[in-house]
Structure formats: C-alpha cells, structure tokens
Structure 1
Amino acid sequence: MDRIYSGASMVLIWLGKPFAKLQLGLEVVDRIGERATREAKRIIFNQRYDFSLSMGDMKSNYGIELFTLEEADGLVTLFESSWFSRIWVIQEVALAKEVGVFYGDGILPYDKIGATAVFLHLTGLSIAVVTEVGLARDDDAVDTGDVVLIHQAERIQLLREWCRGERGDWLDVLPLIDFSAGIEDDQLINRPGKGGSAGLILLKLLLWTIGFGATDQRDVIYGLWGILQHMADAQGVDMPKHLRPNYDITAAELLGTVAKEILETSGTLMLLTLVKGPSRRQTQGLPSWVPDFSPILDSHPLCGSKFKSVTKVNAGGHMTGMLDHLSLGAEGATLHLKGVSLGTVELVGGSSTEMKDAKVEGWINILSRMSQVYPPTAQPSLEAFWRTLIHDDDFSSRPAKLPQSENFRDLILMLMVKRFLRVFEAGGNDAVTELIQSWKHLGLDNVAERYPNHIYGTGFLQSCCRSIGLLPETETEHLLSPEEIEAWKQSRRASAAVFELLLGGTVFWRRIALTSGGYLAHGSESLSTGDEVWVVSGCPSPLVLRKTGSEKGRYCLISEAYVHGAMNGEMVANGVEWQDIALV
C-alpha cells in the first residue's frame, strides 16, 4: 500500500455528497488555509499555546476575519465527517505526493484542511467555535473529541509531514513537536540512516493514532502498515516477519505480538501507559497490560504529543536494558517488573460525567481529609489538588505556570451554581438549602477556613444564591438585577475559563484519588478504593494496579495515573528498594 499511495501523482478524497454547510466549511478553509499555516507554525516555533477563548479577537490576533455563525457551523460540519476518524485514511494522506478534496467543481488541497485543524487546536479557537455552534444548535452532543474531529484532522496532517521528511513544508517546526515523550528524539524527522527499531516506530504511530477506528480491530495495526514500512525503509530498519499483515490470527493474538515487539525492542515501558481503564476496553482475551487500541476514546495519555519544551514525565526512570523473552503462552502472559508502592487508594473523587453534572462531593471529601500542606511537594494541599487535576501542565510548560488557585476557585463556584440552578428547578428553595447543608456536613466550611481566599464556604454560597434568586432575600442581601447577575456570571466564567480549558485535556474518563501514602493520583474512572498506585522501574507514568488471586505481588493493570510529587523520578532519586511485581 505504501508503494501505491507514494507512487500516485495525486490522491483525491470524497467527503460525501456535497451540501450547503459542507461547502461553506470548505470555503472557509480555502480562505484561511495559508494564514492558518503561518499562524500554526508561529505558535509551534514559540512553543506556547494561545488561549483564544472567544472568536472576537481573531482579526487582531491572527489577521483573520471573524467567522460568522454560518461559517463556524460550516467548519464544524466539515470536521464532523466520519472520514477523519478512519485508520485507513491516514496512510492515504501521509504517503501521497499531493492530496486533494473534491470541492464544488474544483479540488482543495488537504494541506489547507490539515493546517486549519492544527491552527484551530493550537489557538484554542476549536473550543470557541464548537461551543458557539453547540449553543446555536441547542445540541449538547457537539463536542471536540468524539464528534467534531478537529484533533484527528490535525494528527493526519502532522503524520503526513513526518512521512514527507525533507520534502515537508513543516520541516522547520516539526522537530519542536515531541511525538513520544522524548524517546529517541532524532527519529522524529524522517532522515535516512538514523537507525532505530520497528517497535519504536510502531510505538510512535500508535501514540499518534489513538482514537482512530476500523471495522476489523486488527486494522488498527495493519492500517498503519504502509507508513510503518515507509518509515522503516527510510531509517534502514528491517521489519520483522511476525508484524506483517496476517488475517489468520485473532485481534488478541496480533495485539499481544505487537506489545511484545514494542516492549522488547523500544527500550521503554511507555506502552503500559496506553492501557485504557477496563470500562473503555473492547478486545477480549488480552492480558491486562496489553493495550487494545480500540477506537473508543479514553483520556489523553500522559506521554502523548506535546511541545518539545514541555518537561517530560519520567516517574520510573530509564530502563537499563531491553525486556527479553516475554511469555505469551496459551494460559496468558505474565510481565515481571519492579516497582515501589505509593499506597492504597482510600478516597476517590467523582467521574468526569459526575463533574459535568457538577457533583463536587468527592472533591470536597478529599480536600477535607487532607492537611493544609501536601507532604510530597510541601505545597498547599489545595494547590496540589488542582495541579493534579490538570497534570500540572498548561500545554506550554510543566509545572503549569498559567493557572492560579483563584481560577480553580471560580471553576468550582461555577460548577456549584450550575448544580444550584438544577436542584432549584426540581425542588425550589428547600432543595438548594438541603444541598448546601450536605456540603457543610462533608466539611466544606473547614476547607474554606483553611484556604479563605481560594475556596468559598456555605455562608458565601447562601449569599450567592440569594443574589441570583435561588434563596429568599434578607434585609441585607437582595436579588440582583438580570444585568447584574449576567455581569457577575461573566466575570466568574472568565476567571474559570482557562482552567476549564486545561481540564478538557485531562479530566475525561479519569477521577482523582487519595492514597494511604498521602499521594494525590489522577487515574482511570475504573480505579476504586483498595487499588494500589505504583511507580514501576522504566515506566514514565505511575500505574494503578489491582490485586488478583492469592499469590503475593500479582496484579492486573487498571491504567496509568498522574501522581503529584512523583512524576520526575523522585522515587528513583530517593534510592527506594524496588519490589518484584507481576502483571497478568
């Protein structure tokens, strides 16, 4: 397949029968494509995301006329095309000399579509556009991720540039994007004679293509074969015969073989960090430590693509050698590793769905249990809490420099107001009072006393509810006018907006937890009390493990986790005594 697409003078793409909204979206891309390319490359070169949370500043910031609502809807319609989610289209675009999309009576270069997607993502305008269209359509299902495929279109474009190597238009900035958490940096650009391994190339491709789907689960691997062969040839790497397409084996057998190849030849345990929580897995018959790479979206991996300037996670240090002779027998595979426990999970926060519904009880419970200072980092526990939620990463730097505790405070307040409005609609004043009292019993006022400028207590919440008409007025506290209420909400939303944007990259399908060792962890929604959090030697992210069977040291892998105060090799530096563990 690599020869077919790389040998073609042009590959043409049909996104479906043309209709007005799709055509308008393509017109917008045609108009802004060149400017979007320049601005996206500028942002990558500066290594700093823009946070354009409103379309209002497009002209002043980027020299692009403000999108009309119809144009924004056209862009969303374009990126709603399921074409962008298919694994097979990646090599069609990545390996071809020229790629065009049917556009009315003409052809639009795909590079303009890809560059527009990169631009929308790096500026933050993807959120602004999708939010505006969702409100206009009155459709909660309009969402960047599994519906509006801007990120997928972006990744297709950057993979195309990676494969083009010296011929690429983004050659000057591509080395500034880290495809795989700093491993083998000199492999990020396709230049002949660099060496490497098939496992490492495949690991990078799998990191970059998470969430793309295929009808046959085996094609999440075989659909990348053309790119894999192309890059292996360019880098002088021999492709092992057992990785060649073979539809006589099952998906589970293929994924096990791929996992073994990557672990034995890539020099890293990073593959383990790509295992999804049990509720997000699709392929049956796999050991818990083998990722299934199903198209079901999960949380963004900690080792996912970032700017090169962002400090890489490295909880478990570097491996001293390759893993050899993994057992993949008929009775299942066991992976023998060394690690150190950070404690058993004692408290868990709400799921991302619960947080979307403004159910903050789990957060309050954890904060009320913690002391004022977080021992692993000597930071205020509230700061450690919100840094855990965003993985201490503001897209441009780690530790995060952009958000502050005040932004987190206003995010929580906006979540609480959202909940108040919902319970008021269902049960009136009494329901609002009951909710506030339930938070009081959980210890919210104690947390507010501990952090008086950064968490609001129940007294403030009562006053707030009186001001916006959710509780009866008093002699001193009166209902604000509609204009005053809207102005108040807007000021709080503006403060919360940046933190909310950062949460969008970390919170989905995860929940926060507190361990018996005093560590805050952010792992899969499948984690529960009694699970254990471990730093594993050679693995960049800590892992959530669950005991299995009666034999000591045998675990199932639940997911990776961000653990505040344990992401930079602290356990390795402290000279801990590693324990033997086995993953099954």
Structure 2
Amino acid sequence: MGRIYRFSWNTIVWLGEAQDNSDKALETIENIFYSMRYVTNRRHPPLEDFERLSIPTPGSALWQDLNHLLGRPWFRRVWVIQEVALSENFYVRCGHRSLSWHVLSIFALIMKEHNLLRYLKVHNSLLNGQIGCQRVSEIDRMKNGTSPLESISSSHMLPELVAGRDAQATQLKDKVYALMGLASSSLQPNYSDTVSVCDVYMAATIEVLVVEEANNDRARSFPPWTVPYDTVVNLLCCVDHFDPQSGCPSWVPHWGKARETVSLGYDSASPKLYKAGTGPGGFPDAGNYMRIQQKLRTIVMTGRIFDIIGEYGAPFVGDVESLLHKAFFDESSSTIIKSHHMAMRCDPYPGESGLFEAFWQTIVAAKDFTRLRRAPPAYGDVFGVLLDEVIGRSPAMPHQSYPSRRLTMDHLRAQSARRPSQIYRELEEAVYAACSGRTYFTTMKRYMGLGPKYARQGDKICVFTGSHVPFIVRPHRDQSYQLVGECYVHGIMQGEVLRMNNILEEPITLR
C-alpha cells in the first residue's frame, strides 16, 4: 500500500455519510482556520473575542458537532498514518463536502496552541474530538518529516512507533507492521503464532537502535552492538508500562499500548530544560555508547545510582480540567494533602531551593503549560493560593513567598481573561502534563520527585551518562535492574549528580 500512496496524484479519504451536522462542523473548521491562522501568540483568546474570531462560544452546539466529526473511527486507525504521510495531496470527504489536509492540520494546531481543546471534551467517550484533533497533529508531524518518494531509515522510525501507540488496530502486531511502509525496514510481516507480539516489538526496537556499525546481515547476527546514547535515551523515555510478566525486557516499550503519561524527556525541548546526565556541556563524548548483548535481552549503560525511593503517594488522576481540582479538593483522598505531608519531612531541602519552591516546581516538573519553557514564578504564586486554601493556613510551607499584590481564590475563579485566571488555566495544563498517571515520591536523601505510578519503596534513582532525565530502576537478580520509567527529581535535573564526587559512574545492566 505504501507504494500506491507514494505515486498517487490525489488521495481522498471517506469519513462517511453526512450526519450529526457534519457539514456545519466542516464549515466551523474552515472558519477557525481562516480567522486564527496568523495569530502568533499561544494564549487562550478572551471569551469576548470568540465571536469576532469565528470561534463557537463555550456553550455552542457547534462544539458537539465538531466532537462528532473528529471522533469518527478513521482518526484513530493506525493504518491511516501511512495513508496520509505518503500522499502528496490529501483530502478528507464527509458526505458531499471535502476539506484539504492542510486546512485540517492547521486547525488542529490552532486548537492545541490556543488551549481550545477543552471545549471538545465529552465525558465517558473514547472516540472524542480531543483525541481526533491530537491525532491529526501527530500524523501531520510525520507527513512533514516524510518524503513521498523516499523511505525513512529504520533508525529514524522511533517517532512513528511512538505515534502508532495511540492508534487502534485489530492486531497488536499492526502497531509495527502498519508503519513499515514509511521505512526501509528489514522486518517482514508474520501473523503466525510462532512469532509473538513481544517478538515483533523487540525486533522493531532493535531496528531503531542498530546504527551503521551493524547495518549488514553479518553484523546483525553478532551482538553486542554499540548504540549512541542520544538514541537509547529517547527510547528509554518511551517506557511507561512496567509489566514483568509481559515477556519483553523492561527497556522495550510496549508499542501496542497508548502512553499513560506525557513523556518528560521525549520531546525536542527537554534536553534544553533538563541536563541530569549531561551537565552544561550537553551530551558526553561520542565514545560513550550503550551495548546490547545476551541474545538481545540485556543492555548495559554507564550511569550513577543516586538515591532510593523512601515514600510514594497515590497516582494523580483526572483530565486536564479536573486533575488540579481533584488533587487539591477531593475530600475523600486529597492527593496534594498527602504529598504535602511527605514534602514537609524533606525540610530542610537539599540543594539551593527552599521547600515550597521545590514542591511546586516538582508538581509541574519545572515546565510551563507548553512544555517548551521553564515554569514561570507566577505558577508558584497561584499554586501557593491553592495550597493555603486546602491546608488551611498561610503560609502552608516554609520559604513560601507571596507577590506584592496578594492573590485570593476569588481572583482564580474569575471567568474573565484577567491575568490570575489565565495563569490558573496554564497551571492546569502544566500540572496535567507533569502529574497525570504519575505518583509523587520522596527519597531517602530527602529529595522529592514525580515518577511512574509503578514506582515503589526501594526502587533506585539512576542518572545514565548522557541522559537529560533521571530514571527509576528496580533491583533484579545478578546485580541487574529492571527499568520502571523516567522521572523528575528536583535538585538533580541540571547535572548536579555528575558533580558529586562520592557517587561513582558504573555499568548499569537493564533486563
């Protein structure tokens, strides 16, 4: 199919018959595209400007129409990735109306950058407009990075495998096979029972990792292989399902399951914000490599075991709009109250941060709502108002400071687009991206962090040489470890561990 799409002049996808006001939904997409495509700031537009910008008002039925259109099954299928990415001119058609992919993709980008996706929310719906919109953006990224006439190399297949995790497929093996049309891969589809799903995911992972030193048949047959650290670090950031019973090594991502978290380290901005294992100089010398050995099931990296998890809390749950409120004000189990009690046992906090700054920075993983920049101090001001309210005293933590104009809960509840309520909405996004699906923990050395919900007491914090984020590993047999997943630990994200003379670099074996 890949060759058919590469040489097609035009490709038209059929979304189905016109229903659920799909004509109005397509018209709304075009209106938002034409009115917002040149708006460069990433702020949420003031509500009073929605009508002028051709954006439906929050209570408009047009959002429901958009939700039905973008929630159609086509947007979730894994096989559509190569259909879009490899076609030169692509259109979607619903009923008697058509829309170019360019208009649809820019619309999806506008919805994301201007924080308009919240209006597409439908409770208890798996195929909703939010997911469809996000899928359009993800597929468009791959389309822009793929030449219709040339296959990408298998060593650059990682972004495609990542994108395929959120898609739907009848066969779990298709999470890999459906993407092979994009790459010059040596993998051959095999649906027989003699090849397990784990075998396919392992083979795809090895295809990503093996570089030019092992790109011929003879080299592939004789591990160990050497792989640059930046490649393997990106791969390890894709691991967020810890299942010792899966049959796969812990460092192989489960390509058949959608992520449970928004990755801390797998994006282009993360190496600029975090430098846990690189320090100010960036990646280490090119001679630093990871080794794959023992029948492809073990990898060996250099790193430093920094600390041990002492306490951990319950996972943060909820969508973008509800997670922050649930964390603070859910009377049955306030996640923040429990985390606050754990944080207070970290006073005085190690390093240069005061306890309050360490706490709120951890809850947003030191990133703002775009995940491209550092969290601004204004987030701490709003976080402090919420914390004082739920803890019942002011200040709620040591070293907590307040802005010259004291904020109140009334400022945050204001429905207008004034600055405090705008920061609150940004904080919602930042907390969701950092905390959703993760758990808050503290370590034996009184550091605090965010890690996978699978983290447990006794797990270790490891900083691999060349990695910009730390990882949680679990001691296994024969002095080896199982990878639990990436984490944020406040106070070691800028290379501090590399400067601790009492923590030596050593080989770390992952199974």
TM-score by length of 2: 0.80
Which of residues 78, 82, 103 is equivalent to 1:91?
A: 82
Asked if residue 121 in structure 1 is aligned to residue 112 in structure 2, the reply is yes
Task: Measure, in 2, the Cα distance between the counterparts of 1:323 and 1:253.
Answer: 21
Q: Deviations over 1:531-568 (max 9, x none)?
A: 1111112333211111223x3x3221111112223233
Task: Measure, in 2, the Cα distance between the counterparts of 1:559 and 1:536.
Answer: 12
Match of 2:276 in 1: 315
Q: Describe the shift of the 1:486–1:518 C-alpha distance in structure 2 as closer, same or farther (beyond 3 A).
A: closer
Q: Is the CA contact 1:5–1:96 (under 8 Å) kept in the aligned structure 2?
A: yes
Q: Deviations over 1:314-343 (max 9, x none)?
A: 4223363443442236xxx22222221221
Q: Is the CA contact 2:469–2:487 (under 8 Å) kept in the aligned structure 1?
A: yes
Q: Is the CA contact 1:51–1:498 (under 8 Å) kept in the aligned structure 2?
A: no
Asked if residue 581 in structure 1 is aligned to residue 503 in structure 2, the reply is no
Q: Deviations over 1:488-510 (max 9, x none)?
A: 84377555322112112222111
Match of 1:29 in 2: 29
Task: Measure, in 2, the Cα distance between the counterparts of 1:149 and 1:87.
Answer: 12
Amino acid at match of 1:563: V
Cα deviation, residue 345, structure 1: 0.9
Cα deviation, residue 577, structure 1: 1.4
Q: Describe the shift of the 1:38–1:96 C-alpha distance in structure 2 as closer, same or farther (beyond 3 A).
A: farther
Match of 1:404 in 2: 379
Q: Describe the shift of the 1:523–1:101 C-alpha distance in structure 2 as closer, same or farther (beyond 3 A).
A: same
Which of residues 137, 143, 148 is equivalent to 2:131?
A: 148
Task: Measure, in 1, the Cα distance between the counterparts of 2:422 and 2:362.
Answer: 22
Aligned residues: 462
Task: Measure, in 2, the Cα distance between the counterparts of 1:488 and 1:326.
Answer: 55
Task: Measure, in 2, the Cα distance between the counterparts of 1:76 and 1:21.
Answer: 11
Match of 1:301 in 2: 263
Asked if residue 247 in structure 1 is aligned to residue 247 in structure 2, the reply is no
Asked if residue 565 in structure 1 is aligned to residue 491 in structure 2, the reply is yes
Q: Is the CA contact 2:290–2:299 (under 8 Å) kept in the aligned structure 1?
A: no
Unaligned runs of 5+ in 1: 44-49, 135-139, 168-189, 230-238, 417-438, 456-463, 465-484
Amino acid at match of 1:263: L
Which of residues 443, 455, 460 is equivalent to 1:532?
A: 460
Please give the secondary structure, in 2, of the residue aligned with 1:14: strand
Amino acid at match of 2:103: K
Cα deviation, residue 218, structure 1: 1.5
Task: Measure, in 1, the Cα distance between the counterparts of 2:32 and 2:90.
Answer: 18
Structural mapping, 1:352-371, within 5 Å:
352-353=316-317, 356=326, 358=330, 359=334, 360-371=336-347
Amino acid at match of 1:258: A
Cα deviation, residue 142, structure 1: 5.8
Q: Describe the shift of the 1:536–1:363 C-alpha distance in structure 2 as closer, same or farther (beyond 3 A).
A: same
Structural mapping, 1:442-457, within 5 Å:
448=396, 450-451=398-399, 453=401
Q: Describe the shift of the 1:111–1:307 C-alpha distance in structure 2 as closer, same or farther (beyond 3 A).
A: farther
Task: Measure, in 1, the Cα distance between the counterparts of 2:377 and 2:124.
Answer: 29
Q: Is the CA contact 1:350–1:511 (under 8 Å) kept in the aligned structure 2?
A: yes
* Structure ID, larger Rg: 1
Asked if residue 339 in structure 1 is aligned to residue 330 in structure 2, the reply is no
Task: Measure, in 2, the Cα distance between the counterparts of 1:321 and 1:247.
Answer: 38
Amino acid at match of 1:225: M
Unaligned runs of 5+ in 2: 212-226
Q: Is the CA contact 1:448–1:454 (under 8 Å) kept in the aligned structure 2?
A: no
Cα deviation, residue 96, structure 1: 0.6
Task: Measure, in 1, the Cα distance between the counterparts of 2:374 and 2:136.
Answer: 29
Cα deviation, residue 445, structure 1: 5.5
Match of 1:490 in 2: 414
Q: Describe the shift of the 1:334–1:148 C-alpha distance in structure 2 as closer, same or farther (beyond 3 A).
A: closer
Q: Describe the shift of the 1:218–1:538 C-alpha distance in structure 2 as closer, same or farther (beyond 3 A).
A: farther
Give the fraction of aligned pairs with identical amino acids, expressed as a percent: 21
Match of 2:362 in 1: 388
Amino acid at match of 2:382: N
Q: Is the CA contact 1:315–1:570 (under 8 Å) kept in the aligned structure 2?
A: yes
Please give the secondary structure, in 2, of the residue aligned with 1:450: coil
Task: Measure, in 1, the Cα distance between the counterparts of 2:378 and 2:147.
Answer: 37
Amino acid at match of 1:379: S
Task: Measure, in 2, the Cα distance between the counterparts of 1:289 and 1:277.
Answer: 10
Q: Describe the shift of the 1:380–1:142 C-alpha distance in structure 2 as closer, same or farther (beyond 3 A).
A: farther
Task: Measure, in 1, the Cα distance between the counterparts of 2:288 and 2:397.
Answer: 51
Task: Measure, in 1, the Cα distance between the counterparts of 2:266 and 2:55.
Answer: 33
Please give the secondary structure, in 2, of the residue aligned with 1:404: helix
Cα deviation, residue 366, structure 1: 1.9
Match of 2:120 in 1: 130
Q: Describe the shift of the 1:385–1:57 C-alpha distance in structure 2 as closer, same or farther (beyond 3 A).
A: farther
Q: Describe the shift of the 1:337–1:452 C-alpha distance in structure 2 as closer, same or farther (beyond 3 A).
A: closer
Match of 2:158 in 1: 203
Q: Describe the shift of the 1:55–1:284 C-alpha distance in structure 2 as closer, same or farther (beyond 3 A).
A: farther
Please give the secondary structure, in 1, of the residue aligned with 2:99: strand
Match of 1:57 in 2: 49
Which of residues 142, 158, 161 is equivalent to 1:159?
A: 142
Please give the secondary structure, in 2, of the residue aligned with 1:349: strand
Task: Measure, in 1, the Cα distance between the counterparts of 2:259 and 2:292.
Answer: 31
Please give the secondary structure, in 1, of the residue aligned with 2:141: helix
Q: Is the CA contact 2:314–2:440 (under 8 Å) kept in the aligned structure 1?
A: yes
Cα deviation, residue 3, structure 1: 1.2
Q: Is the CA contact 2:379–2:423 (under 8 Å) kept in the aligned structure 1?
A: no
Match of 1:499 in 2: 427
Q: Is the CA contact 1:211–1:293 (under 8 Å) kept in the aligned structure 2?
A: no
Q: Is the CA contact 2:355–2:399 (under 8 Å) kept in the aligned structure 1?
A: no
Q: Is the CA contact 1:76–1:148 (under 8 Å) kept in the aligned structure 2?
A: no
Which stretch of the first structure deviates more once superposed, 560-569 or 216-225?
Answer: 560-569
Task: Measure, in 1, the Cα distance between the counterparts of 2:96 and 2:2.
Answer: 29
Q: Is the CA contact 1:15–1:83 (under 8 Å) kept in the aligned structure 2?
A: yes
Q: Deviations over 1:80-117 (max 9, x none)?
A: 22322221111101111111111332321122112111
Higher helix share: 1
Asked if residue 327 in structure 1 is aligned to residue 294 in structure 2, the reply is yes
Amino acid at match of 1:341: I
Match of 1:434 in 2: none
Task: Measure, in 1, the Cα distance between the counterparts of 2:384 and 2:347.
Answer: 18
Please give the secondary structure, in 1, of the residue aligned with 2:253: coil
Q: Is the CA contact 1:21–1:73 (under 8 Å) kept in the aligned structure 2?
A: no
Which of residues 337, 343, 350 is equivalent to 1:375?
A: 350
Which of residues 273, 292, 314 is equivalent to 1:350?
A: 314
Q: Deviations over 1:61-88 (max 9, x none)?
A: xx44544612222222222223222211
Asked if residue 518 in structure 1 is aligned to residue 501 in structure 2, the reply is no
Which of residues 68, 89, 106 is equivalent to 2:97?
A: 106
Which stretch of the first structure deviates more once superposed, 489-498 or 387-396?
Answer: 489-498
Amino acid at match of 1:371: D
Q: Describe the shift of the 1:58–1:342 C-alpha distance in structure 2 as closer, same or farther (beyond 3 A).
A: farther
Structural mapping, 1:473-484, within 5 Å:
none
Please give the secondary structure, in 2, of the residue aligned with 1:323: strand
Please give the secondary structure, in 2, of the residue aligned with 1:410: helix
Cα deviation, residue 453, structure 1: 4.8
Task: Measure, in 1, the Cα distance between the counterparts of 2:265 and 2:428.
Answer: 21
Task: Measure, in 2, the Cα distance between the counterparts of 1:397 and 1:325.
Answer: 32
Task: Measure, in 2, the Cα distance between the counterparts of 1:145 and 1:287.
Answer: 34
